[in-house]
Structure 1
Amino acid sequence: MSHPSSTVEVTAPSPARGPIRAVVFDLDGVIVDSSAVMREAFSIAYAEVVGDGPAPFEEYNRHMGRYFPDIMRLMGLPLEMEEPFVRESYRMAHLVPLFPGVRETLEALHSRGIRMAIATGKSGPRARSLLDTLGVLGLFDQVIGSDEVARPKPAPDIVLQALGHLDVPPAQAMMVGDAVIDLLSGRGAGATAVATTWHGGDVAALLAAGPDLVLHAPTDLLAHCPAALVH
């Protein structure tokens, strides 16, 4: 049986795939449904720093998953927007829900001995604070933000750093994300690149990027992660 990634161009032979022992997740759009709060925080930051006029959130949304300062550079917006954006994101964090089925999926994976990490475009402190507010921080072995790696996504650094902490080789790990840069980061690290569709974003672009696996609901992940073997 050929592996699903056999149709994806690779620059080097992939190592033999073992059973999945670790899952690295993106945060926004995968674990948490933060779009409404991010839109509000972005609009407030834009009004404070740039001034009147509609905030270009749809363009911002196309860069979702990247580190906020990098998005500002790509959009030609002032880096000074970061302070009010972060301030408002913290203020409204209690309004950000987990996607339906996420808590149950994380708890099931944890009970099976699957190691789990977060690799996010957010800063590490903000990601950990949000997960703590939601009561799921303790289910993750590691939470890494884009401010805690030399090169954020789409570089593989953040996934490799997470797997290094988990002590699991990439061939036995998945990177689960809702953006093309998540797939690129996971694939660059040598992990199985998994696309999610429940965020309601640009699914066509995700599928065009050739993920190894596509999940339509969080619980779909459980079929691909049996209980980890204890060595």
Structure 2
Amino acid sequence: MSRPSRALVLDFDGLVADTEVLWLAVLRELYRSLSQELPHDRYVASIGGTLDDFDPFEDLAARCRTAGAAELEERAESMFRTYMAYEAPLPGVRRLVAQAEKRGLPLGIASSSRSTSVRPHLEAFGLLGSFPVVVTADDVPRVKPAPDLYLLAARRLGVDPAGIVAFEDSNRGVRAAKAAGALCVAVPHVLSRSHDFSAADLRLASLTLCDLDDVLSLGAAGKAG
């Protein structure tokens, strides 16, 4: 069987699912239930990263002193699961997946979240079978902006990192993809539009505007804007 030369690798949070906006709503509700306000700018700046960048549960626990960070995180995750049950993939995701499958392009996921925050949702969307490779924070020592997730995804997909076209919604994600040597399409969501996406090879306002022919020509045509 011949080795594929190209593959598409998608971020999950904010790209496949609207989890970033959903988490913002959950955290705002959690903070306000304890008469506090979520530090919006700090949270937005941490998008695409980990709790090491900004831990809202530690922050809230220090403010309210009536509950520990672990208890607050458990409350938030319960709220998130309830809301997520009503969610669907973001517009354009199913179309992109169908186009890739029609062309025989391998598909993967590269997420800084843990597997338990990615795989169940892909399965609920009916998309898990479309992504034979799902790489998460559980699989690598360093998450984005380090290149580890993309390098491992490339290895598992059987392609050179330079043959990957990554789809990302955050500055950290774009930096990770580029550090791995991949091409990158930035698709900012409402919370990350202020991020610096200058390193991306292409920027789209929405995944619904994605033309796979244009995307696959990026490697030959150079930086497309």
Count of residues in Structure 1 that have an aligned counterpart in Structure 2: 204
In structure 2, the partner of 1:217 is: 206
Residue 28 of structure 1 and its aligned partner are, at CA, apart by 1.8
In structure 1, the partner of 2:144 is: 153
CA distance in 1, matches of 2:99, 2:114: 27
CA distance in 2, matches of 1:117, 1:84: 31
In structure 1, the partner of 2:89 is: 98
Given the superposition, is the C-alpha separation of residues 147 and 67 from structure 1 closer, same or farther in structure 2, using an over 3 Å criterion? farther
The amino acid across from 2:130 in the alignment is L
Identity, in percent, stands at 28
Given the superposition, is the C-alpha separation of residues 202 and 90 from structure 1 closer, same or farther in structure 2, using an over 3 Å criterion? closer
Counterparts of residues 126-145 of structure 1 (less than 5 Å): 126-145=117-136
Residue 22 of structure 1 and its aligned partner are, at CA, apart by 0.8
Greater shift, 90-99 or 149-158, is seen at 90-99
Unaligned runs of 5+ in 1: 1-18, 227-231
Whether 2:12 is the aligned partner of 1:23: answer: no
The amino acid across from 2:11 in the alignment is D
SS of structure 1 residue aligned to 2:118 = helix
CA distance in 1, matches of 2:31, 2:52: 14
Whether 2:190 is the aligned partner of 1:200: answer: yes
2:5–2:159 Cα contact (<8 Å) kept: no
In structure 2, the partner of 1:67 is: 50
In structure 1, the partner of 2:79 is: 88
CA distance in 1, matches of 2:211, 2:59: 38
The amino acid across from 1:90 in the alignment is R
2:14–2:21 Cα contact (<8 Å) kept: no
Given the superposition, is the C-alpha separation of residues 20 and 95 from structure 1 closer, same or farther in structure 2, using an over 3 Å criterion? farther
Residue 173 of structure 1 and its aligned partner are, at CA, apart by 0.7
In structure 2, the partner of 1:43 is: 28
TM-score by length of 1: 0.77
In structure 2, the partner of 1:6 is: none
CA distance in 1, matches of 2:46, 2:96: 27
Q: Over aligned residue pairs, what C-alpha RMSD do you find? A: 2.6
The amino acid across from 2:171 in the alignment is V
Whether 2:45 is the aligned partner of 1:56: answer: no
In structure 1, the partner of 2:64 is: none
Given the superposition, is the C-alpha separation of residues 67 and 221 from structure 1 closer, same or farther in structure 2, using an over 3 Å criterion? farther
SS of structure 1 residue aligned to 2:85 = helix
2:150–2:177 Cα contact (<8 Å) kept: yes
Residue 165 of structure 1 and its aligned partner are, at CA, apart by 0.8
The amino acid across from 1:192 in the alignment is L
In structure 1, the partner of 2:168 is: 177
Greater shift, 214-223 or 157-166, is seen at 214-223
Unaligned runs of 5+ in 2: 62-68, 218-225
Deviations 1:208-228 (A, max 9, x none): x321222333251412238xx
Residue 204 of structure 1 and its aligned partner are, at CA, apart by 4.8
The amino acid across from 1:87 in the alignment is S
Given the superposition, is the C-alpha separation of residues 41 and 147 from structure 1 closer, same or farther in structure 2, using an over 3 Å criterion? farther
2:162–2:181 Cα contact (<8 Å) kept: yes
